[in-house]
Amino acid sequence: MRHRRFAAVLAAVVLAVAALGGVAYGAGLPPFAHKTPATTDSSARAHRPVAGLPRPSPTPSAAEKAPAEPTATPRATRPTPTPKPSRTPTATPTPTATEKPSPKPTTKPKPEALMSVGARTDQVRELEARLHQLDWLSTEWVDGYFGTSTRQAVYGYQGKHGLEPLGYVDSATWRSLREVSRTPTHDELYPPKPKPHSAPLDPRCTTGRTVCIDKSTRSLRWVVDGNVRLTMDVRFGCPSSPTREGLFHIRAKVRHGYSNMYDSSMPFSMFFSGDEAVHYSSDFAARGYNGCSHGCVNVRNWNALAQLFGEARVGDKVVVYWS
């Protein structure tokens, strides 16, 4: 039994060795050779065809496999035409709409004047007489002539009765005045003329340059070396603020005077005692002796006072007295 197994194994070994030898022989090695050929020889033999074996066909490269595509004949390229510069269309100007001028605010026309400065008529005389009835005008100015004093009286009346202050008489003013006054009598239309100031001058007024103010006659006289050059009506301070009496001198002249204390204009101011001065008064021109001052000497004749202001000098005497 053991001999059979041994023989089988031996036979297998012999067959294996024979097989290996055949392979080696086919590879060009002598049977059972133990010498390893040089690397260069094996490399050359690897590329040497073995006798009896078919030579392998060379593998075509990918470039050889692909069929050659016909090369396209280049066509002549047409020159690209240079684009012409495009013309920007000019915008047609839009006609500007003519702006309509904004309407100017319409000023209400002034009422028509029935009587105004410069008029000399019987109707003006009636106007002045009616104003005198209401203590707006002195009888001295009831003469039929529409002058500065009459204008001031009309202006004051209009302001007092809620009328438009025009300074002249329109139909509304005339209608209002006739409603609150009566028809003047002949004596009211032709009052006696005031007597000239016949009171004697104070002795202090007879020499030099003096503004001589008489409280008794309510008058101011401009006297130079005893000669009376100007005379005008004046008004004095109220009982609570009487005008001082005595001898003074002009210490300052202010053409456009103004009272901050009483918020009142004082044109042609000539100061002679503290804050007391001779100056023009629009209230005196409008209301006459119905009012009074805070101590100053009020004058209502603008033109006469303007002349006095131009002639009088700082340092000239001022005398206030009772005759």
Question: What's the whole-model pTM score?
Answer: 0.47
In this prediction, residue 286 carries a pLDDT of 78
| All structural domains of the chain | 119-190 (1.10.101), 203-321 (2.40.440.10)
3-class SS letters over the chain: CHHHHHHHHHHHHHHHHHHHHHHHHHCCCCCCCCCCCCHHHHHHHHHCCCCCCCCCCCCCCHHHHCCCCCCCCCCCCCCCCCCCCCCCCCCCCCCCCCCCCCCCCCCCCCCCCCECCCCECHHHHHHHHHHHHCCCCCHHHCCCECCHHHHHHHHHHHHHCCCCCCCCECHHHHHHHHHHCCCCCHHHHCCCCCCCCCCCCCHHHCCCEEEEEECCCCEEEEEECCEEEEEEEEECECCCCCCCCEEEECCEEEEEEEECCCCEEEEEEEEEECCEEEEECHHHHHHHHHCCECCCEEECCHHHHHHHHHHCCCCCEEEEECC
Residue 101's φ and ψ, nearest 5 degrees, are -60, 135
d(C-alpha 232, C-alpha 197), whole Å = 10
Residue 279's φ and ψ, nearest 5 degrees, are -155, 165
Place of tokens 């690897």: 46
Between β-strands 252-259 and 246-249, what pairing exists: parallel, antiparallel or unpaired? Answer: unpaired
Catalytic residue among 249, 279, 292, 294: 279
In this prediction, residue 24 carries a pLDDT of 44
Residue 212 annotated to the active site = no
d(C-alpha 32, C-alpha 20), whole Å = 9
d(C-alpha 312, C-alpha 130), whole Å = 37
Residue 279 annotated to the active site = yes
Other beta carbons within 10 angstroms of residue 91's beta carbon come to 6
In this prediction, residue 203 carries a pLDDT of 95
Q: Nearest Cα to 228, choosing from 253, 247, 201, 250?
A: 201
- Could you list the pLDDT tens digit for every one of the 323 residues in the chain? 555 666 666 666 656 555 555 544 444 444 444 444 444 444 434 444 444 444 554 554 444 444 444 444 445 455 555 655 555 555 555 555 566 666 666 678 999 999 998 899 999 999 999 999 998 988 878 999 998 789 889 989 999 999 999 999 999 999 999 999 999 999 999 998 665 556 789 999 999 999 999 999 999 999 999 999 999 999 999 989 999 999 999 999 999 998 888 888 999 999 999 999 999 998 888 778 878 999 999 999 999 999 999 999 999 999 999 98
In this prediction, residue 68 carries a pLDDT of 47
Q: Left (φ > 0), alpha (ψ -120 to 50) or beta: where does 190 sit?
A: beta
